[in-house]
Amino acid sequence: MKRTTRKAGSNASWKVPAPGQIRVYVWEWPVRFSHWVMVITIISLSITGYYMHAPYVAAGGRTAYVMGTMRFVHIVSGFAFMLAILIRMYWFFFANRWSRWNQYIPTTKKRMANLVAVGKYYGFMAWSPVRYIGHNPMAGAAYAVVYAMAIVEIITGLALYSQILGSKTLSFFVGWIPHFIDIQWLREIHFLIMFGFWMFFIHHIYTAILVSVEEENGLMDSIFSGYKFVPKQELLRDPAVEEQQPDVETVQAVSVEEEESHTAV
């Protein structure tokens, strides 16, 4: 693979697109904000949650309050996590075309076909990845699973919390769940899904590095800045647009105004 020669520095050369590339604002602030809140809370929820399952720190001293602190951090992080998920789910319906809900759930045949193509690349049955400005269909589907896991975590977490809280309001929403799934199974599901997040975490870091290196589009930077560097013809034939309009053979995807807005630095 080739190395990019773009450099970061005092005159911020990374802000300047290479010839033939344009700088595209892909991830809007709600996407990046909710992403980083999720990262921080998943880490803190895992550390405290695993302690609550099997206390791995021996408490010392007469005024120790280890479990109490862990539980406090867990509950606060849990609500922050829920907030981030809610913000992101709201944004599914109002985001630009790379963060909309249809980037996560494949709804068209074309996107399904591309999902298979991405799978072939990961299965070493293709030489090159399928290039996307936003999420490729497989990544999007993986994130849909992560959101599903997050929703289950939030619901089971609230059900467990309502038992210790004794709040009538919260019990109204989730108090009926232990009627059908015992509280211990809710706890088991809540615990096992944590490992699902860990598995995703490993995979996510790996693919982010891989795609960033393979596509040379500033993917890693984009989750901080929101911007990616993409070849102009890629923006003009954006799969995120083409996949949603399967009947049209070639789409002039981007208006002149939008193109100019992306190029502006």
What b-and-e string marks burial along 51-83, b requiring 16 or more CB atoms within 10 Å of the CB?
Answer: beeeeeeeeeeeeeeeeeebbebbbebbebbbe
CB closer to another protein, 19 vs 93: 19
Site for another protein contains 57 (CB under 8 A): yes
Identify which of 135, 165, 148, 31 has the alpha carbon closest to the alpha carbon of residue 92.
Answer: 31
Q: Figure out which of the listed residues 65, 94, 173, 224 binds another protein, where binding follows CB under 8 A.
A: 65
Site for another protein contains 29 (CB under 8 A): no
Q: Which two tokens stand for residue 171?
A: 């019990």
Report the alpha-carbon distance of residue 242 to residue 175 in Å, rounded.
Answer: 45
The region of 78-86, 93-101, 138-146, 181-189 touching another protein under the rule CB under 8 A is: 181-189
Q: Which two tokens stand for residue 10?
A: 């005092």
Q: Residue 265 corresponds to which amino acid?
A: V
Question: How many Cβ atoms are within 10 Å of 120's Cβ, its own excluded?
Answer: 14
- Cα end-to-end distance, the chain, whole Å: 28
Report the alpha-carbon distance of residue 263 to residue 229 in Å, rounded.
Answer: 10
Least spacing, CB of residue 99 vs another protein, in Å: 21
What DSSP letter does each residue of 166-199 carry, written as one string?
--HHHHHHHTTHHHHS-HHHHHHHHHHHHHHHHH
Site for another protein contains 164 (CB under 8 A): yes
What b-and-e string marks burial along 197-224, b requiring 16 or more CB atoms within 10 Å of the CB?
Answer: beebeeebeebeeebbeebbbbbebbbe
Q: Please work out the total of residues on this chain that contact another protein, with binding judged by CB under 8 A.
A: 62
CB closer to another protein, 91 vs 227: 227
According to CB under 8 A, which residues from 76 to 135 bind another protein?
A: 122, 124, 127-131
CB closer to another protein, 88 vs 190: 190
CB closer to another protein, 153 vs 215: 215
Least spacing, CB of residue 133 vs another protein, in Å: 11
Least spacing, CB of residue 20 vs another protein, in Å: 4
Site for another protein contains 73 (CB under 8 A): no
Q: Figure out which of the listed residues 90, 94, 172, 195 binds another protein, where binding follows CB under 8 A.
A: 195
Least spacing, CB of residue 89 vs another protein, in Å: 26
- Contact criterion met (CB below 8 Å) for 235 and 22: yes
Site for another protein contains 20 (CB under 8 A): yes
Binding site for another protein (CB under 8 A): 1-7, 9, 11, 13, 16, 18-21, 53-55, 57-59, 64-68, 122, 124, 127-131, 163-164, 166, 175-176, 178-179, 182-185, 187-188, 191-192, 194-195, 198-199, 202-203, 206, 210, 214-216, 231, 233-234
